[in-house]
Amino acid sequence: MAGFSKNFSLQLDSDLIDRLMQYSNENACDTSYVVDEALFSFFQREDRMVSQLMDGYVNMADINEEISNAFSVCEQEVDRQV
């Protein structure tokens, strides 16, 4: 992570704050460290999900093109009959 920090205020659910404080005390770590790690993990997971969605859409484009090509003959036949 970055070598510098900025301060900002964050309002959290009281139960979540209690869990954060308990974890930090039991593991002798700073609450800022826990929050940083949690947010870092969240953004990594989100980045992976977006990447997987993009890959899925690219793969589906090829499949959709194949389906479209396969049925275009049927559509042309219907158009001739109408």
Determine the average pLDDT of the residues in 67-76: 81
Band (pLDDT 50/70/90 cuts) for residue 37 is very high
Determine the average pLDDT of the residues in 26-47: 94
Helix (H, G, I), strand (E, B) or coil at 10: coil
What is the model's pTM?
A: 0.58
Closest to 5 in 3D by CA, of 41, 47, 26, 33 = 33
Residue keyed to tokens 């993990």: 41
Flag whether pLDDT at 2 surpasses 70: no
Band (pLDDT 50/70/90 cuts) for residue 74 is confident
